Amino acid sequence: MEDQAVCCYRHPQRETGISCTRCERPICPECMISASVGFQCPECVSGRASAGSGASAAGPPPRASQPRTLAGGTMASDPRLITKILVAVNIAVWLAALSVGDRLVNDLDLVGRAYDPGTVQVVGVAEGQWWRLVTSVFLHQQLMHIAFNMLSLWWIGGPLEAALGRVRFIVLYMLSGLGGSALSYLLAAQNQPSLGASGAIFGLLGATAVLMRRLNYDMRPVIALLALNLLFTFTWSGIAWQAHVGGLVAGTVVAYGMVHAPREKRALVQRGTCVLVLLAIVAMVWIRTVQLTG
């Protein structure tokens, strides 16, 4: 059966990807209240859910089809699970880098092609070390750097994960991070190292703007946040603007394909959009590798 659009039971004009973990009625971000697991609606929190609401002590009401998120994903009981895992992985890698020292950072950061005095070798993505495009997305050194990125991931990631579903959210995050790595590799100096989840975070910011526009929410807060972050990107020293821009573009394109795909061709459009973004990433990496090794 074709998936049906899910709208907030208190604001029928708003499509949403979030449901109350108690009564399973769909709720928009304005109505959701954080609970020990997931989110609950105002009526369940106040204990005044009416019998006519469709929820009862015997369990949730029967449904003609399983509720889906706005992007077609399955609604999960813990809408922040992937966000929690990503935060944990980033913190674990940061702690490992602190304990091991510069050697781990030098092995995992993003560098195009450079001489490493520690190994007395030429290292980098151009030398076949493709993993640096991924590992650098999870690598941090400074406390303020990881603190800012993880707070941003926690704040932005949860609502996005709830709206897109787990699989689509992790695909969005990884393609945004890879998009940032690829543009840095393509445009930055070959011996300029870079690291951090900022490219992926910018991708989530772009996706948030796309989602809010799709739901007809007030765009001014997210536009102001994007403008402020871009201002910092191009005015502060020591910031790899290429990663921020690459992640922003990749995340925006992927999110647009996910939330605007027509239901009858949803899987095809979403997969096709992700494949096109991945091909663009591969093309940038290939072009830069040829430049550095040709």
User: Measured between alpha carbons, how far is 239 from 148 in angstroms, rounded to an integer?
Assistant: 14
Bridge partners, 121 (sequence order): 116
Is residue 53 within 8 Å of residue 112, measured between CB atoms? no
CA-based end-to-end distance of the chain: 53
The one catalytic residue among 176, 184, 194, 244: 244
Phi and psi, residue 28, nearest 5° = -85, 165
**Is 198 among the catalytic positions?**
yes
What is the per-residue DSSP string for 136-183? GGG---SHHHHHHHHHHHHHHHHHHHHHH-HHHHHHHHHHHHHHHHHH
> Tokens 């690459």 correspond to what residue?
246
Joined together, the tokens standing for residue 66 give 């399983």
Who's near 290: CB < 8 A, 6+ residues apart?
A: none
Q: Which residues are catalytic?
A: 198, 244
